[in-house]
Amino acid sequence: MKEINFDCLILIFNIFKYDIKSLYSFFLVNKKWCNIVVPILWERYYPFKINEKLCNVILSFLPPSSKKLLSNNDIKLPSLTLSKFPLFNYISFCRYISSDNVDRIIDIVLKNLCNDHRRNLLEQEIYKLFISQCKNVKYLSWETRQPLTLFPGASILFSQLHKLSIDIDYVNSGALYELAQISKDLNTLSIKSCSRNIPELIYLIDAQRNLKKLILDIEVDEKTGKELSKTLERNGATINNLYLNSIDNIVLSSLTALVNLKKLTILHWKNYKEIQQYLAISEFPNLQQLILTNVHLPSFKEISLLIEKTIGNISSIHITATNKTAKEAGILIKAIAVNCPKISDLDTNIEPKDFIHVKTLLLNCRFLRKLRLKSLEFFINENDNNIGDELLDIFILFSPKSLDNISISGLWKYSIDTFNRFFESFRGHPLHYFGINDSYNNITVDHKIIVRKYIDGGVVKCSNWKFIQI
């Protein structure tokens, strides 16, 4: 039998990268297969399982000079640390360097002792090890005051990074400038905890040649906000995924320049008047995901206009207002029903008068899998007896077979008969999840008994009442 080509084996084994049992069986076939499988196993299971055994393996790669330096400063490495290098250079297989993992290694060695000098020294040598030995790192999480760009091998490591997450509070402006000089091919850049004007931050963003995803989880002054807005405009042709959290000072006019945006996330934004203004005039025809949560919105109308200007590729929408006075929730659901035939995940607000639009949504969006509807009402109208029945009847009559995850408001009342018919209608296509957040105690013991019955019968796999004692 002709031997399988080396490159073909790599492709085959990577298909099984999430099947650890198969990979272990391949590992034992022969030396050639072992040499291919070990890097795949290491990449798959590091960095998620930093324990004492893995820590000892990593520390075994420290050079003699580092071990001597640590010993001279009363830092005792674990006794199980290998005295000789292992058969494989496992460090070279790492694709991800995380500050959390480095901290975990330090805690294992120092037994959580808070000696700043020793922690800093051990941290320095661990980072030096990773930066000098990791030849194919694609993702770095930088939350350390160590001067990483000055360590041996930094120019190679940072030049090949695809993803960088950086906490500005730990990094000085000089390091940002060095980063901008050598790291120009980032696809994803995540920046957080910035509370001051740092021109080098803008320089780093502008240095990227093909930046696709930008995450800004920061607090900035007005001047920095305006500069960030300008750099968004300059990179508008490449950025297709924008995440903004708690940025009240950024000039939202930059949104109009992001013509190729596929995913937009805005969290905890208080300047809702600006959001309203710029969402109304923005156009993201290729938009696939829209997330606006914990945002104070006076109206859903502007978001509806934004959705109407897309070309029908939206698959996920999460829009929840912090205020109960938001208007036109029905217009938003109607816009989604008409313009988002591929949507599979929807989370938004609703009022009883808008239930009719849910019918259109279920009829038009036949790929819908998750639907979460949250009430905009402050209190229940006692005259609306069993108002929830209207919504449940719409689910009973019009739900697509794809819909298997439903969460609705517990503000409304539901009759026992309609509640039972609702679950019975899903007997042919079971629900993966069903939940009602019952803040007004409208869900009685009888309702919960019904849920338990259908969970036991396999019609509902999971519910937020599953473990409640009846």
DSSP classification of residue 250: S
Q: Which two tokens stand for residue 312?
A: 């029908």
Extents of the domains making up the chain: 1-45
Tell which phi-psi region holds residue 89, choosing left (phi > 0), alpha (psi between -120 and 50) or beta: beta
Q: Are 206 and 235 in contact (CB under 8 A)?
A: yes
Identify the residue whose tokens are 């040649």.
209
DSSP 406-461: EEEESSS---HHHHHHHHHTTSSS-EEEEEEE-SSS-S-HHHHHHHHHHHHTTSEE
CB of 148 closer than 8 Å to CB of 174: no
CA-CA-CA-CA torsion for 135, 141, 147, 153, nearest 10 degrees?
Answer: 0
**Read out DSSP for 321-364?**
ESSTT-B-HHHHHHHHHHH-TT--EEEEEE-GGGHHHHHHHHHH
The DSSP element (H or E) to which 389 belongs, if any, is helix 388-398
Say what the pLDDT of residue 13 is.
Answer: 65
Cβ(183)–Cβ(161) under 8 Å?
Answer: yes
Angle at 436 between CA 431 and CA 439, to 5 degrees: 170
Distance CA 101, CA 47 (A): 7
What parts of the chain have a pLDDT lower than 50?
1, 467, 470
Instruction: Tell me the whole-structure pTM to 2 decimals.
Output: 0.85
Q: How many helices and strands (H and E) does the chain possess? A: 18, 14
Alpha carbon distance 199, 257 (integer Å): 21
Residue 430 preceded by cis peptide, ω within 30: no
Q: What is d(CA 196, CA 176) in angstroms, rounded to the nearest whole number?
A: 14
Q: Work out the end-to-end distance of the chain between its first and last CA atoms, rounded to an integer number of angstroms.
A: 65
Q: How high is the pLDDT of residue 293?
A: 83
pLDDT tens per residue across span 152-188 = 999 999 999 999 999 988 888 888 889 999 999 999 9
C-alpha–C-alpha distance, residues 432 and 404, integer Å: 5
pLDDT of residue 1: 42
pLDDT tens track for 44-93: 655 566 778 788 888 888 888 998 999 899 888 876 555 566 677 778 78
The answer to whether residues 315 and 339 touch, using CB atoms and an 8 Å cutoff, is: no
Tell me, what's the pLDDT at 282? 85
How many Å apart are CA 470 and CA 467, to the nearest integer? 9
Distance CA 106, CA 118 (A): 9
